[in-house]
Structure 1
Amino acid sequence: MIRQKEKLTSRQKIKGHRTLTYDILDGMVDWVRVINNNGIIIYANKSMEEALGKNIVGAKCYSVFGKSCPCVRCITDTTVSTGEIAEKEEEIGDKIYSIKSSPVRDIDDNIYAVVEVFRDVTRERKLEKEIIKKNEKMSKDLAFARKIQKTILPKKGSYGSIDVDYLYSPSEMLSGDMFDICRIDQDHIGIYISDVVGHGVTASIMTMFVKQSMAGITSEYLSPSKAISQLHKNFLDLNLDDENYFTIFYGVINTKNNTFTYVNGGHNSIPLLIKDDKVSFLEATGYPITSLFNEVKYEEQAIKLDKDDKILLYTDGIIEAKNEDKELFGIDRLVQTVKNSDKDLINSIKEKIDEFKYDELEDDFTILQLKVI
């Protein structure tokens, strides 16, 4: 009698576990159904029955979705034949479902049915489409901005007694580097190179400020120090945060007597003078264009230029290129490359950096060469 009661209790426990399993499945928001090897639905949970009707049990797996024949890609067949979990996405009505099928095995490890779980991913897919659409628009806008940014760069070639060549390569679609050649009057040409902190959209917008401001300033001030001091005042009017700043090197060439007068606004990529196969630095002191200072004065320096002299201006993307060991290309390698170059200087530098660097450049890459002709 006691053994019969214990046996009954065990049966009750098993029955309770089975009831719990169905309660769990019926409590799921996802649709769950079980399909036998003949493609017949032998179980559907409450969520699926409420959505499709209670008569789906006993029906063909595809017919409950209004189809007259099996799916082109039937993941139930895939799971039965391979014993592996299979997945796909399918539109059902006005919704998109992610469907995953898993094998159901008997005690002999034979697959006798497949359980399918349908998860509604409509919202996620709509969001993905919206993001893709917005990204496509943003990419078009960036491509247009890049085209404009490249279009406003100065032309290569002769500017009176000065020949100009350059290499311009943004690390992203838009650059924080800017340079220009400004014909001030019949005897004077202004040249500057600028490097905005950061890169991308924000930095590129700042380069537009630099170009627009310098276009007006160079025609008003012949003195480089006065010109950059005025640029600093214009920058203060923007009321930007301290982290927004840029460096600039600006010089004026007198084409009548071939003198070059210049100032350095915190540009740590000190330009090089190549004269008679010797390399020297065009050094001058001065602060970057930043809101940290209310008024800044810049020290002017002047040099005499002769025929075939070259001035090399560049941004820190050149000297901060890294190799596999995170070693910087550095100023010494740049100077050595310049000294050893027996052909086109800009291409020599590019080739050396391409050989040296391990990965894509992390910063914008700009070289500007001026040659007295």
Structure 2
Amino acid sequence: MGKTRSAQDAGGLTAFTDVVYLSDKPEMPAEIRRLFRHKKVSSCLLPLDRYDQIRTRPDLVGTVLVDAEGLDIAQDQRLGRIIESLERDNLSILLLTQRIRRPVRSFSLISSEGSFSMSNTVGSISPDDLWARICINLSDRKNENSGIAAKAPAPVSLTERLRQSHPADQPQPEGAFVDGLKEQLRLAGLVQRDFLPAQLPNSAEVRWAATFQPAEWVSGDIYDIARIDEQHIGFYVADAVGHSVPAALLTIFVKQALQMRQTTGNSYRIFTPAEVVKNLNQRMTGQKLSGHQFVTCCYCLLNVKTRQLTLARAGHPYPILLRQGEPPRQLEARGSLLGIFENAEFTQEFVQLQPGDRLLLYSDGAESLIGRLHDKEGFRYTEEFLALTDASITEIVDRLTEMAAHREIKPAELDDLTIIGLQLP
């Protein structure tokens, strides 16, 4: 443990590696190498354009650090493709956009100012914070043969403080504390659901279906379907990196920051989908969010009178159009992840829907049910999904939800599941 090597020189990954450092630079920053040596973490350096070596053996990777320091806006599409590919393999990712600015002299808990940054618009974090984030990722990628030795640095836990404050002959409060924590998480999940649509805007022009299944008490996904005016409906699915409480908090920010229209006095202007995701990205980068947080999103605008659909995508799975007598079709639009580049640009696509058309918008937790992107064959749908393509949108969403509940997956592959769909009469 604690050794750093070049996976390229070694001919790829051959043994479990706690941290794979992806970078176009010839070596890791000295401070990060010191951190890994101090914590006895195995690591390797891999060029960005060789990231496919990770995908060939994702089981040998604990977490991936992507060094984006120095990359300009022209390269954000490349970076987005790399991160999307790694996420499809359920790999934990940390995105690094600035170098450590001073030597690491101490690994005790220290101030988070001035040492390390994970976003070009956020405050810096300490090496201890970086180490804690690495360990959180490693805890989700335990390998039976590796016996990962890394353990997250942490102050004395609340449970330990409670134990110290109670004599040994008195009942210990751990059980009550855990029960209370579970209840708080349960209530947090209920609060998050309050931010979802109370009812779907079904009408004679369009029918809707939706499912929202958190992997834990709370979800890193969020969606909305909102009637903007009599003629337009805006809808989206957004997916914050990771799941559980940190990702759930970010979804609430997304819900509040995403604006579908601008009202001035008695008039209003509906934002185009490209404007919606661009404005959301600027809100995220301008908010100075701490850590390595980023979001994928696909936002669509439907004109229920003309049946024209306009969409913009930010690193999110492509929506799928189902049309009678035709194979499923992915609706492609270019756009990078949200929260990385302040001046990122997003394109939008137009689709003229027809009577009977159905559209699926989903988070990456549903990808294994619908299909996978293969390097040589492109996107290939599952047989189970193809068997559903003639069904109504309600039947499709219900069946996918049922399939998700009964699929056998590893704990590390557990992810939030969100699907929304529409159908034109």
Q: Say whether the fold is shared (TM-score over 0.5).
A: yes
Same amino acid, percent of matched pairs: 25
The DSSP-based 3-state class of the residue aligned with 1:185 is coil
Residue 206 of structure 1 is matched in structure 2 by 250
Distance across 2 between alignment mates of 1:299 and 1:231: 14
2:294 is the counterpart of 1:273: no
Aligned match for 1:357, one of 379, 401, 408 = 408
SS in 1 for 2:365: helix
Q: Secondary structure of the residue that 2:258 maps to in structure 1?
A: helix
The 5 Å alignment of 1:146-165 reads 146-154=189-197, 155-156=199-200, 158-159=202-203, 161-165=205-209
Q: Write the letter of the residue equivalent to 1:363.
A: D
Deviation at 1:337, TM superposition (A): 3.0
CA-CA distance at 1:179 after TM superposition: 0.6
Look up the equivalent residue of 1:349 and give its one-letter code: L
Structure in which a larger fraction of residues adopt strand: 1
How well do the aligned residues superpose, as a CA RMSD in angstroms? 2.8
**Given the superposition, is the C-alpha separation of residues 127 and 216 from structure 1 closer, same or farther in structure 2, using an over 3 Å criterion?**
farther
What TM-score, normalized by structure 2, do the two folds share?
0.52
Q: Tell me what 1:262 maps to.
A: 311
Match of 2:357 in 1: 309
Of Structure 1 and Structure 2, which has the larger fraction of its residues in helix? 1
Match of 1:347 in 2: 398
- Are residue 191 (structure 1) and residue 242 (structure 2) matched? no
Matched, 1:368 2:390: no
1:172 aligns with 2:201: no
Contact 1:337 1:352 in 2 (8 A): no
CA deviation after TM superposition for structure 1 residue 319, in Å: 2.0
**1:239–1:362: structure 2 CA closer, same or farther, 3 Å change rule?**
same
User: Is residue 298–residue 313 contact of structure 2 (8 Å, CA) maintained in 1?
Assistant: yes
**Residue 330 (structure 1) aligned to one of 358, 361, 372:** 372
Q: Which of residues 140, 152, 177 in structure 2 aligns to 1:134?
A: 177
Asked if structure 1 preserves the Cα contact closer than 8 Å seen for 2:295 and 2:337, the reply is: yes
Alpha-carbon offset, residue 350 of structure 1: 3.4
Does the C-alpha gap of structure 1 residues 216 and 126 become closer, same or farther in structure 2, counting only changes over 3 Å?
Answer: farther
Letter in 2 for 1:264: R
Deviation at 1:277, TM superposition (A): 4.0
Q: CA deviation at 1:347?
A: 2.7
Once residues 214 and 159 of structure 1 are traced to their aligned partners in structure 2, the CA distance between those partners, rounded to angstroms, is 24
Following TM superposition, by how much is the alpha carbon of 1:241 offset from its aligned partner in structure 2, in angstroms?
A: 3.6
Distance 1:301 1:216, change over 3 A: closer
Taking the aligned partners of 2:211 and 2:424, their CA distance within structure 1 comes to 18
8 Å contact kept, 1:160–1:255:
no
Amino acid at match of 2:228: I
Work out the CA distance in 2 between the residues paired with 1:125 and 1:369.
58
CA contact (8 A) 1:251 1:261 kept: yes
Q: What does residue 274 of structure 2 align with?
A: 225
Alpha carbons 1:161, 1:372 under 8 Å: kept: yes
Q: Structure 1: which 5+ runs fail to align? A: 1-120, 322-327
Structure 2 residue 186 is matched with structure 1 residue 143:
yes
Distance 2:253 2:203 in 1: 24
String of CA shifts for 1:199-223, please: whole Å, max 9, x gaps. 1111111111111122565765421
Cα deviation 1:307-346 (Å, max 9, x = unaligned):
210110111112247xxxxxx9636664543331254112
Calculate the TM-score normalised by the size of structure 1.
0.59
- Look up the match of 1:288: 337
Q: Which residue of 2 aligns with 1:247?
A: 296
Once the two structures are superposed, residues 52-86 of structure 1 have per-residue CA deviations (whole angstroms, 9 ceiling, x without a partner) of: xxxxxxxxxxxxxxxxxxxxxxxxxxxxxxxxxxx
Larger radius of gyration: 1
Show the 5 A alignment for 1:67-106.
Answer: none
Aligned to 2:5: none
Distance 1:215 1:227, change over 3 A: closer
Distance 1:193 1:144, change over 3 A: same
Change in 2 beyond 3 A, CA 1:126/1:230: farther
Q: CA offsets per residue over residues 136-178 of structure 1, 9 Å max, x none?
A: 3322222112112223322236056221101211000000001
Question: Offset at 1:122?
Answer: 6.4
Matching residue's letter, 1:146: G
Higher relative contact order (CA closer than 8 Å, sequence separation 6+): 2
1:102-144 deviation per Cα after TM superposition (whole angstroms, max 9, x unaligned): xxxxxxxxxxxxxxxxxxx964676941x33333332222211
